[in-house]
């Protein structure tokens, strides 16, 4: 288990560094991540490399037995480089240059930038290869942050032409596959194909995007691939210079422009940046954050690190709420429970200057260790006691949600209904399931489904015959599937496939969707095996054919028709949910579905606001119970457990204080 902090020695006088290292070690912090924005200090002028200051930081790391994650510093290209080669800058969709003054001001397709990146990374790798304290390298910082995956510059334009040519071979094929007959958009050559930037018909105020959906989807894929290639170049350079420790990159839960399922294959482990208090509220950590942890674990189906873990109040121009006492500990446990075996707190000390003056860290601006320092120190000491469990146990899930970047991109461009939000649908379904005390993986369609009892495909629209075949096989072998509205109806070119909805999944669902209603915010009443519920956003109007109807609409002209069905096959069942519900509605529906499909859940009942994650080392079970409420919580237990943190046996009722955590085991 790694327990550390993101450190920026370049922001502080050198005579303070020894104090920082001493305080870190006293708090039990054993790792620093450094240098992701330090290009202008390492190469202050072209070709002049200065490693002296960084060497002195590394010497302190050695003398304090501090492990180091060293970063390639390409997230902040220096001014001398940008002045010499302004063509490196990105251009936005209006053709404006995204200039100097913050960070990430480079285009992934700039050959010039790639060359300069190679140079600095080679120099760093040569200098630090084999350093005993470096346990990992991080590439750059948050590829895609500040909407920088998609760029509209000349380099991207010619790279896009080449990308399309490779894919479609001849231009007639592209015109046909992408449907350029519409509005007579036939392209005479690959070189003439545009980047889908802002166009005459776009109207952001009304959410109108007018480009050809197929071309737009290809542009999203191309942009994501461009980052992939740039990242691969960095990995190659490091490996070529003898770097043999793991390489990672810090992902983000709230970035959607970069296909992390592809990118993950370059890294030995995934890390991500977790800031629960940006969306502070009693259930924020239980919703998106919990979903994001499961998503991160799913990219490699492996434990991960939190490379930047919230350690205080956050903010740039204004600040978000201050974490309540106990919340940093709680969020740390939440990360660990979901699979983090590395926690690096962002940041050691808030800056006295620069954009992030208000982004707090473990210390305060005055460098004095106070409440947050003490909370993190105590949390670290506790985690050390759990180390064996954290390292020796796994999160095993009977349920998976199938996620897809193609669908994210397609749904976001054409939203179907005013408030349709693919990510929100996914995490609402995820929360509904995990609220039942059920572990839930978030994976993509390449996953081995045989590990699961239930696969859930929310709004899985861009799909294929092959997906249907894979699901059929899974069902024949006893697996169960949930498919929702807006699934099965588009092909890989983002064309509507013209099949009766749910298209590729029509046979396995055993229904026909004969009409639909994009209801937006309007509510539609339904009743079901889970009782009366409310739907919004989208309502499919269904001919249930021979399937079992599990619920019907009570409103609108489709009152009395099914909104939910079950098609039972000899192996398993396929459930179709035709309308979007809220978290509570999905929760009640999934209570029924998971009972019918024999999904394993936490053996004791759950309480609203209290999260459980069950881990196993295949002989014993460890249940992390986390109270996200600011009031005490009482949890009725099914039997006696050993509570590991307090080292005592608890039977009947577990009481957790506000933001309290318990780790229960049945190990005797």
Cβ atoms within 10 Å, residue 196: 23
* Catalytic entry in 36, 43, 288, 308: 308
- What's the rounded Cα separation, in Å, for the pair 644 and 359? 34
Phi–psi pair at 653, nearest 5 degrees: -130, 130
Q: Kindly tell me which of 359 and 505 has the beta carbon lying closer to ligand GAL.
A: 359
Q: Please report how close the Cβ of residue 75 comes to ligand GAL at its closest, in angstroms.
A: 8
Q: Kindly tell me which of 253 and 544 has the beta carbon lying closer to ligand GAL.
A: 253
| Nearest one of 440, 448, 444 to 460, comparing CA atoms | 444
Q: Please report how close the Cβ of residue 356 comes to ligand GAL at its closest, in angstroms.
A: 5
The DSSP secondary-structure symbol of 535 reads E
Q: Kindly tell me which of 215 and 310 has the beta carbon lying closer to ligand GAL.
A: 310
The set of residues, in sequence order, having a beta carbon less than 8 Å from that of 101 and lying 6+ positions away, is none
Q: Kindly tell me which of 155 and 273 has the beta carbon lying closer to ligand GAL.
A: 273
Q: Please report how close the Cβ of residue 173 comes to ligand GAL at its closest, in angstroms.
A: 41
Q: Is 616 helix (H, G, I), strand (E, B) or coil?
A: strand
User: What are the angstrom distances between the C-alpha of 415 and each of 207, 487, 582?
Assistant: 9, 13, 18
- Known catalytic membership, residue 308: yes
What stretches of 399-466 adopt beta strand conformation (E)? 399-402, 440-443, 454-457
* Catalytic entry in 142, 327, 408, 611: 142
- What's the rounded Cα separation, in Å, for the pair 298 and 302? 7
- What's the rounded Cα separation, in Å, for the pair 538 and 544? 18
- What's the rounded Cα separation, in Å, for the pair 37 and 41? 9
- What's the rounded Cα separation, in Å, for the pair 654 and 625? 10
Comparing every residue's Cβ against ligand GAL, the nearest one is 142
Distance of CA 327 to the CA centre of its chain: 21
Contact by Cβ (8 Å): 291, 442: yes
Phi–psi pair at 116, nearest 5 degrees: -65, -35
290-300 vs 327-338: helix crossing angle, rounded to 10 = 30
DSSP bridge partners of 175: none
Question: Please, where are the H alpha helices in 211-289?
Answer: 213-240, 260-263
- What's the rounded Cα separation, in Å, for the pair 41 and 35? 9
Q: Please report how close the Cβ of residue 93 comes to ligand GAL at its closest, in angstroms.
A: 23
Residue with tokens 């807006």: 486
| Nearest one of 428, 503, 430 to 460, comparing CA atoms | 503
Q: Please report how close the Cβ of residue 300 comes to ligand GAL at its closest, in angstroms.
A: 20
Q: Kindly tell me which of 135 and 319 has the beta carbon lying closer to ligand GAL.
A: 319
Q: Applying CB under 6 A, which residues contact ligand GAL?
A: 141-142, 145, 273, 308, 346, 356, 359
Which H or E run includes 116? helix 111-128
- Known catalytic membership, residue 477: no
Q: Please report how close the Cβ of residue 143 comes to ligand GAL at its closest, in angstroms.
A: 10
Q: Please report how close the Cβ of residue 98 comes to ligand GAL at its closest, in angstroms.
A: 17
354: which 2 tokens?
Answer: 């620069």
Q: Kindly tell me which of 39 and 190 has the beta carbon lying closer to ligand GAL.
A: 39
Q: Kindly tell me which of 219 and 359 has the beta carbon lying closer to ligand GAL.
A: 359
Q: Please report how close the Cβ of residue 38 comes to ligand GAL at its closest, in angstroms.
A: 12
Distance of CA 152 to the CA centre of its chain: 25
User: What are the angstrom distances between the C-alpha of 571 and each of 138, 225, 487?
Assistant: 45, 39, 22
Q: Kindly tell me which of 94 and 318 has the beta carbon lying closer to ligand GAL.
A: 318
- What's the rounded Cα separation, in Å, for the pair 479 and 458? 17
Buried/exposed code over 464-475 (b: 16+ C-beta within 10 A; e: otherwise):
beebbebbbebb
Q: Please report how close the Cβ of residue 346 comes to ligand GAL at its closest, in angstroms.
A: 6
Q: Please report how close the Cβ of residue 295 comes to ligand GAL at its closest, in angstroms.
A: 16
**Which residues are marked as active site?**
142, 308
């Amino acid at each position: 288990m790694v327990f550390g902090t993101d450190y920026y020695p370049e922001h502080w006088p050198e005579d303070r560094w020894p104090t920082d290292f001493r305080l870190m070690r006293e708090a039990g912090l054993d790792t620093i991540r450094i240098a992701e924005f330090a290009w202008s200090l390492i190469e202050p002028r072209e070709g002049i490399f200065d490693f002296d200051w960084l060497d002195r930081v590394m010497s302190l790391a050695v003398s304090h037995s501090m492990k180091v994650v060293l970063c390639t510093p390409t997230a902040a290209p220096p001014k001398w480089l940008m002045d010499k080669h302004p063509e490196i800058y990105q251009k936005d969709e209006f053709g404006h240059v995204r200039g100097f003054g913050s960070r990430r001001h480079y285009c992934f397709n700039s050959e010039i930038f790639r060359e300069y990146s190679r140079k600095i990374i080679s120099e760093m790798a040569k200098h630090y290869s084999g350093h005993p304290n470096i346990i990992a390298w991080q590439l750059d910082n948050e590829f895609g942050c500040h909407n920088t995956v998609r760029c509209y510059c000349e380099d991207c334009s010619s790279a896009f032409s080449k990308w399309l040519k490779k894919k479609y071979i001849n231009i007639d094929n592209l015109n046909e596959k992408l449907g350029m007959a519409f509005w007579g958009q036939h392209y005479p050559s690959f070189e003439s194909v545009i980047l889908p930037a802002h166009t005459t018909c776009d109207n952001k105020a009304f959410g109108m995007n007018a480009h050809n959906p197929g071309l737009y989807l290809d542009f999203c894929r191309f942009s994501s691939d461009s980052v992939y290639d740039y990242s691969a170049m960095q990995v190659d350079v490091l490996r070529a210079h003898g770097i043999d420790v793991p390489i990672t990159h810090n992902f983000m839960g709230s970035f959607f422009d970069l296909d992390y399922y592809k990118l993950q294959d370059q890294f030995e482990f995934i890390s991500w940046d977790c800031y629960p208090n940006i969306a502070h509220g009693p259930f924020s950590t239980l919703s998106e954050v919990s979903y994001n942890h499961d998503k991160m674990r799913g990219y490699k189906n492996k434990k991960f690190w939190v490379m930047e873990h919230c350690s205080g109040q956050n903010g740039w121009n204004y600040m978000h709420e201050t974490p309540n006492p106990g919340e940093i500990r709680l969020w740390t446990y939440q990360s660990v429970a979901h699979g983090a075996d590395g926690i690096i707190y962002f940041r050691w000390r808030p800056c006295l200057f620069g954009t992030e003056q208000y982004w707090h860290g473990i210390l305060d601006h005055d460098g004095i260790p106070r409440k947050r320092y003490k909370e993190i120190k105590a949390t670290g000491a506790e985690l050390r006691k759990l180390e064996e469990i954290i390292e020796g146990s796994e999160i095993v899930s009977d349920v998976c949600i199938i996620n897809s970047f193609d669908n994210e991109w397609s749904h976001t461009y054409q939203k179907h209904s005013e408030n349709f939000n693919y990510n929100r649908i996914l995490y609402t379904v995820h929360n509904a399931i995990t609220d039942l005390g059920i572990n839930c993986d978030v994976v993509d369609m390449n996953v081995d489904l045989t590990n699961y009892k239930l696969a859930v495909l929310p709004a899985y629209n861009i799909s294929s015959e092959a997906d249907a075949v894979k699901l059929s096989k899974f069902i024949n072998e006893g697996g169960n599937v949930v498919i929702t509205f807006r699934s099965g109806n588009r092909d890989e070119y983002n064309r509507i496939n013209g099949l009766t909805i749910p298209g590729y999944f029509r046979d396995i669902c055993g229904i026909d969707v004969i009409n639909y209603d994009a209801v937006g915010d309007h509510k539609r009443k339904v009743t079901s095996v889970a009782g009366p519920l409310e739907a919004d956003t989208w309502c499919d109007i269904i001919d249930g054919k021979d399937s079992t109807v599990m619920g019907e609409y009570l409103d609108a002209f489709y009152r009395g028709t099914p909104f939910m069905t079950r098609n039972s096959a000899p192996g398993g069942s396929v459930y179709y949910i035709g309308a979007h519900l809220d978290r509570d509605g999905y929760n009640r529906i999934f209570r029924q579905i998971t009972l019918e499909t024999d999904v394993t859940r936490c053996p004791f009942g759950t309480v609203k606001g209290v999260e459980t994650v069950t881990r196993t080392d295949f002989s014993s079970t460890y249940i992390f119970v986390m109270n996200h409420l600011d009031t005490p919580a009482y949890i009725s237990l099914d039997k006696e457990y050993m509570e590991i943190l307090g080292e005592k046996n608890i039977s009947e009722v577990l009481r957790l204080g506000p933001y309290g955590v318990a780790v229960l085991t049945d190990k005797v």
